[in-house]
Amino acid sequence: MTDERTAHGERIHRTAHETEVAAPAGVVYGLIADATQWPLYFPPNVHVDRLEFDGTHERLRMWATANGRVKTWTSRRVLDAVARRIEFHQEIPAAPLSTMTGTWIVEPLGTETSRLTLLHDFSVTDDRADPVAWVERATDTNSRAELAGIAALARQWARLDSLVLSFEDSVTVDAPPEPVYAFLEQAGRWPDRLPHVSRLDLTEEPAGVQIMSMETLTADGSSHTTESVRVCFPDAGRIVYKQTLTPALMSAHTGVWTVEPGPAGTTVATSRHSVVLREEAVERVLGAGADLARARRYVREALGRNSTATLTHAKRYAESPVVL
């Protein structure tokens, strides 16, 4: 094997992962191509912002977990829908990387089966052994999770419209955006401010990236625990999140809080949710005979009720004569 090196003399390390997917190649490529949906499809991905896109060339800001830590970087991608191939390189690699490039390749094995391959080439500053091992472990763990996520989702491609749902709820606040955003960002204080939150543990590192474990009460008095990663954008009045531990009925749940100026000095606060249902859990959670339509209604009502309650308390907080 040739010992290839970067212009700075660092050795290039290569990894390759592949899986067989029970779905047409076009379906698999479509899931890979739409990177903005990756947080919903791939367990490691927390959030993706599309910064530029002309139909072929794309620039993305990405957040994802790696060996239990949240990393962020900017990537450029070149999409080739005819060859079903996507090449990428990290424009601003996350430490300890000095370079990271790779390729997604989708090959048809038949009309209903495909092979999905993910290649990575990377180098590490000074080529030190411990950081190289850390990157290899993170790349292997995340690549396996991403391929498994695509395989699981793609084999249900004919039913995706039934499994995936998105919705939002909004309230109008007679106050400026700042106190509304502050209420939503200060999640560590929610147990004292929100009756449906009984416990919340929060750490923030680096600044603006919050790791949360929260216990919430449902309408029937039961409780469930969720774990989330949140990324806060105070200048944009936006908080995005990805649940890393979801209730049994959902295989994935992402969301965003937005706070925007409204008419006549008001503020519009919105909660948006996107969910992938876990079909095999529907009857176990909702009872014999329950179907996806009932599961969709249940999730819509449960998530909407809690997020609307949070927005209502944020409104009350912001409109209070004394904001604490």
Write out the DSSP string of 243-254. EEE--TTEEEEE
Tens-digit pLDDT profile for residues 250-294: 999 999 999 999 999 999 999 999 999 999 999 999 999 999 999
Share of the chain above pLDDT 70, in %: 97
The residue ranking higher by pLDDT, 321 or 31, is 31
Instruction: Give the H/E segment covering residue 234.
Output: none
pLDDT digits (tens, 9 = 90+) for 101-125: 999 999 999 999 999 999 999 999 8
The pLDDT of residue 1 is above 50: no
> Which pLDDT does position 212 carry in this prediction?
95
Mean pLDDT, the chain, as a whole number?
93
How confident is the model at residue 68, as a pLDDT? Answer: 83
Q: Which pLDDT value is given to residue 2?
A: 47
Residues 302-314 pLDDT 10s: 999 999 999 999 9
Strand bridging mode 250-261 / 13-21: unpaired
Left if phi > 0, otherwise alpha if psi is -120 to 50, otherwise beta: which for 300?
Answer: alpha
CB-count exposure of residue 220 (10 Å: 0-12, 13-18, 19+)? exposed
pLDDT at residue number 120: 97
Q: Rounded to whole angstroms, what are the CA distances from 213 to 249, 287, 301?
A: 18, 28, 22
What's the whole-number mean pLDDT along residues 67-87? 94
Residue 158 confidence class, pLDDT cut points 50, 70, 90? confident
Which positions ≥6 away from 221 have C-beta within 8 Å? Answer: none
pLDDT at 86 over 70: yes
Predicted pLDDT of residue 216: 87
Tens of pLDDT along 181-210?
999 999 999 999 999 999 999 999 888 999
The pLDDT confidence band at residue 7, using thresholds 50, 70 and 90, is: low
Q: Do 38 and 48 form a contact (C-beta atoms < 8 A)? A: yes
Cβ-Cβ contacts under 8 Å for 109 (sequence gap 6 or more): 20, 115
Average pLDDT over residues 85-107: 94
User: Which pLDDT does position 218 carry in this prediction?
Assistant: 73
pLDDT band at 324 (very low <50, low <70, confident <90, very high): low
pTM score above 0.75? yes
Cis peptide before 96 (omega within 30 of 0): yes
pLDDT band at 138 (very low <50, low <70, confident <90, very high): very high
Residue 322, pLDDT score = 67
